[in-house]
Amino acid sequence: MRRLAYDVFDTPLGSVVVAASSKGIAAVALAGARERGAVVAGLARTLDASLTPEHHRLVARAGKQLAQYFAGNRRTFELVLDLDGSEFSRRVWASIGTIPHGATLSYAELATAIGRPDAVRAVANACGRNPAPILIPCHRVIASDGSLGGYSAGITVKRRLLTLERGSGADLPLFALADQRDQQTRRNKATDHALDALDEGLKTWLLARLEDNPALATAWMTVSEWADAVFDAVDEHDLAAIMRLVVWRAQQRGDHPPSIEQVGRELLETVAGPAILSHRASGPIWAAALQAAFWLREPREVERIGAQLLSHARPARATTTAVMKILRRVLDGRLPTTASLRERAVDLWLEVGQVAPSDDSGPDAFEAAGLWREAAMQAEAQLAAGDGDRLALLEELARCYEAMGDLDAAIDSVQSLWLETEEVRWSTELRRLKGKVTPDGPSGVG
């Protein structure tokens, strides 16, 4: 049995336990609000080691560097590690260590990086067994669809770590700034292309309206006349870019300026509607129309777009992917709308996921948005249908039910995990949850 020294450090994420051998850092555990003693005991069982609370120069150095990291003054760690794991896991962890601060990599990309593109599931499992989170930044590994995926300390902690690293634009590393600028350049090119497709009169009319000068614009033609002319003048991709420009300009203003809102409403009702109802719409126009409908707080249009999409036996994958991206923005609050429409977005997310299942239709998006009940319902549905990774779904259910305050259900999920895997960490988690139900009672697993 190895003998390790440990210390506990306070961080913005709660307590962090760091343990080290004479050779290097052996483990990091994100305790959060959990009782420190229970976390240390669980770590000892997981590592099959005896942990002693004593000063250790490597542990002290790790604590100092973690404090610098959380203060935003450190991007890489300069620590010797002494980790226990298989050769494959070590390859995965080493590759994770090369992901730059503020960047992310998908599980599939990570599998390719280690020369095993066929081993995505095994790579994800190795991430879950990472003994030194933060130092080995597995929080930077996400799902291929851009969702957060799993994390040993929970999705909330993973999101907070990524937010900490990304920070404001001024604090981003050069590669991230370049990526941001590249995305903005592509959006600008699409918008410029769309505006160039308009004749000078239509273009000038729109720009006057967007600059909140409706009197000048209306002097040439009404909003309805302009929208009809635009519909005849551009293709769907340009039309989608114009609609995105209208919504972006309104959001930039921070309110619902009537002159801009009227343009968006007219585009949605007289342009996007016929395009979708004619069954010739592509992914960009579906997404742009749905974005405008949520922004305009138009339940009738949201219902119409949703019903038309779901009427297709097999919607194109590009269409459902584009729609899911808009729904995700509604769920996580980046696209503001009413409470009732946000609830409709939840329903639509589930409905689209049933018609066209994808990696993006899982419960993690609900969890990321704090919609614990919806995330649990989706995970339960996938379990019942035999879809997805059973262990990952049980872990997700445990987090959701605990966040909802349904500790009995959370205990049931963890009990299943413990029985199916026999991993010590689930025994420890079971004791913790049972301790929350009866803090003064017995906490043994039984």
pLDDT digits (tens, 9 = 90+) for 261-318: 888 888 887 665 665 655 556 778 888 888 888 888 888 888 888 888 887 767 777 7
Could you report the per-residue pLDDT of 346-380, keeping only the tens digit for each?
Answer: 788 878 877 665 544 556 556 555 567 767 777 77
Read off the pLDDT of each residue in 162-172 and give the average, rounded to a whole number: 59
Which residue, chain included where needed, has tokens 């503001």? 336
Residues 28 and 148 reside in one and the same domain: no
> What pLDDT does residue 384 have?
74
Query: Is 60 exceeded by the pLDDT of residue 240?
Result: yes
> What pLDDT does residue 208 have?
80
> What pLDDT does residue 434 have?
87
Q: Out of 44, 70, 96, pick the residue that ends a domain.
A: 70
% of the chain at pLDDT higher than 90: 13
Find the range with the poorest average confidence among 63-72, 109-118, 338-347, 376-385.
Answer: 376-385
Read off the pLDDT of each residue in 219-235 and give the average, rounded to a whole number: 81
Contact 116, 87 (CB under 8 A): no
Residues 406 and 348 reside in one and the same domain: no
> What pLDDT does residue 190 have?
77
Residues 306 and 380 reside in one and the same domain: no
Any catalytic annotation for residue 400? no
> What pLDDT does residue 441 have?
40
> What pLDDT does residue 371 have?
65
> What pLDDT does residue 130 have?
93
Residues 8 and 27 reside in one and the same domain: yes
Task: Report how far residue 244's alpha carbon sits from residue 253's, in angstroms, rounded to the nearest whole number.
Answer: 14
Residues 216 and 345 reside in one and the same domain: yes
- Can you give the CATH number for the domain in which 98 is found? 1.10.10.10
Domain ranges, residue 22: 2-70
Residue 79 resides in a domain: no
More confident: 21 or 312: 21
Residue 345 resides in a domain: yes
> What pLDDT does residue 271 have?
61
Residue 78 resides in a domain: no
Residues 43 and 137 reside in one and the same domain: no
Residue 302 resides in a domain: yes
Residues 239 and 347 reside in one and the same domain: yes
Residues 55 and 105 reside in one and the same domain: no
Angle between helices 339-355 and 299-310 (to 10 degrees): 0
Residue 246 resides in a domain: yes
Residue 181 resides in a domain: no
Residues 158 and 281 reside in one and the same domain: no
**Segment of 56-70, 212-226, 295-309, 374-388 carrying the highest mean pLDDT:** 56-70
Which contacts qualify for 180-185: CB closer than 8 Å, 24 or more apart? none
> What pLDDT does residue 219 have?
60
- Can you give the CATH number for the domain in which 415 is found? 1.25.40
Query: Is 90 exceeded by the pLDDT of residue 137?
Result: yes
> What pLDDT does residue 278 have?
56
**Segment of 88-92, 97-101, 223-227 carrying the highest mean pLDDT:** 88-92
> What pLDDT does residue 37 have?
80
Res. 440 pLDDT band, cuts 50 70 90: very low
Query: Is 70 exceeded by the pLDDT of residue 19?
Result: yes
Number of structural domains, the chain? 4
Res. 123 pLDDT band, cuts 50 70 90: very high
Residues 114 and 134 reside in one and the same domain: yes
Beta strands 49-53 and 105-106 are unpaired
Among the listed residues 40, 81, 138, 198, the single catalytic one is 138
More confident: 177 or 64: 64
> What pLDDT does residue 184 have?
59
Res. 28 pLDDT band, cuts 50 70 90: very high
- Can you give the CATH number for the domain in which 65 is found? 3.30.160.70
> What pLDDT does residue 144 have?
79
Query: Is 90 exceeded by the pLDDT of residue 96?
Result: yes
Per-chain mean pLDDT for the chain:
79
Task: Report how far residue 236's alpha carbon sits from residue 261's, in angstroms, rounded to the nearest whole number.
Answer: 21
Could you report the per-residue pLDDT of 321-345, keeping only the tens digit for each?
Answer: 888 888 877 876 667 788 788 878 8
Residue 446 resides in a domain: yes
> What pLDDT does residue 25 have?
94
Residues 148 and 27 reside in one and the same domain: no
Q: Out of 171, 202, 227, pick the residue that ends a domain.
A: 171
Residue 75 resides in a domain: no
Contact 131, 83 (CB under 8 A): yes
Read off the pLDDT of each residue in 38-56 and give the average, rounded to a whole number: 88
Residues 241 and 156 reside in one and the same domain: no
> What pLDDT does residue 178 have?
44
Q: Out of 305, 327, 361, pick the residue that ends a domain.
A: 361
Read off the pLDDT of each residue in 13-23 and give the average, rounded to a whole number: 89
